[in-house]
Structure 1
Amino acid sequence: MSDKTLKDLAEQMRGIDIAMLSTITEGGYIAGRPMSNNGEVDYDGTSYYFTDGDTRTVSDIRREPKVALAFQGKDAFSLAVEGQASLSQDKGEMQAHWTPDLDRWFRQGIDTPGLTMITVVAERAHYWAGQDEGEVTL
């Protein structure tokens, strides 16, 4: 087992464009979907994603906020994160985490009707990097 820090993991996450966000459905199944991961942000254990407010993702989180994130990077780096999700439609909060590349999905930016920001606060992260693996508790 290795002893990487959250800062070490953040550096390896920098080039990852897509994260898989998994929620627990009403029927108790696990539903995963790709979400844009802003690789320009310094990861501090909290992730921010944007979606339409009427998606199953949002309804799943309202009912059960425990979620998982999966990241796959270069050189056999993988990261599995467990955390708690919350939802916001506050434009000030969204503006603080908005990046221009999101405009291709949400043409009206933070003024897109129904736009919802998902915040995931990590509780633990397990990583694999070739023969190296370990866990960071947050």
Structure 2
Amino acid sequence: MSDDQNATGTTPEQSIKAVAAIIKDVKFAMLTTITSEGRLHSRPMTTQEQEFDGDIWFLGNKDAESTDDMRHRPEVNLSFSNPEKGNYVSLTGRAELVEDRAKLDELWNDFYKTYFEGGKEDPNIQLIKIHAHGAEYWESDGRIRSFIQMAKGAITGKQQNMGKNDTVSL
């Protein structure tokens, strides 16, 4: 295996494309941070409609507990779930709190007025960039096919192919 391949023989670019294909239709991710007490805390975040390239962007509040968690302990986990398709991703990465007006303009849509009283000019808006280190993902052929495979396994007592599971470095 060369340095530019994962344990499964895929390149980082192929891994990014595989993860991107799974998370592209997932509207919300669960962001897990480490609190000041050393505990894990998860909360939903709205995903941006951008192609995943190894980085994921969010808009948050500067004074939120999650932002403070990331400021002091930037290692995070993101989980994405699309049970209708039987696809799941757990992504590890490092959070970076970013001030970039051009990026805010790119990411902004009127949906965020619900969270930011001052709109795009709200001084409490915090751009959050997660640079992915790695991911584990699960893909199946869909909920019905997975159910059939589970039932078949239960009846026959034999392990069935439930889809693809891979751990990749990004």
TM-score normalised by L of structure 1:
0.88
Q: CA 1:18–1:2 in structure 2 vs 1: closer, same or farther (change >3 Å)?
A: farther
1:50 counterpart = 2:85: no
Counterparts of 1:30-109 in structure 2 under 5 Å?
30-38=40-48, 40-73=49-82, 74-109=84-119
Secondary structure in structure 2 of the residue aligned to 1:5? helix
Matched to 2:25, the amino acid is G
**Which residue number corresponds to residue 134 of structure 1?**
166
1:123 counterpart = 2:155: no
How many residues were matched structurally?
137
Distance 2:96 2:78 in 1: 14
TM-score normalised by L of structure 2:
0.73
Q: Which has the higher strand share?
A: 1
Distance 2:167 2:93 in 1: 14
Higher Cα Rg, which structure: 2
Contact 1:17-1:36 within 8 A present in 2 as well:
yes
Contact 2:15-2:169 within 8 A present in 1 as well:
no
Secondary structure in structure 2 of the residue aligned to 1:136? strand
- Tell me the CA shift for residue 129 of structure 1: 1.1
Q: CA 1:137–1:21 in structure 2 vs 1: closer, same or farther (change >3 Å)?
A: same
Q: CA RMSD in A?
A: 1.9
Matched to 1:120, the amino acid is I
Percent of aligned positions with the same letter in both sequences?
Answer: 27
Contact 2:29-2:46 within 8 A present in 1 as well:
yes
Q: Which has the higher helix share?
A: 2
What does the per-residue CA deviation read over 1:73-100, in whole Å, with 9 as the maximum and x for residues that have no partner?
Answer: 1321000000000102332332233344
Greater relative contact order: 1 or 2 (C-alpha under 8 angstroms, separation 6 or more)? 1
Distance 1:24 1:102 in 2: 25
Identify unmatched segments of 5+ residues in structure 2: 1-7, 141-162
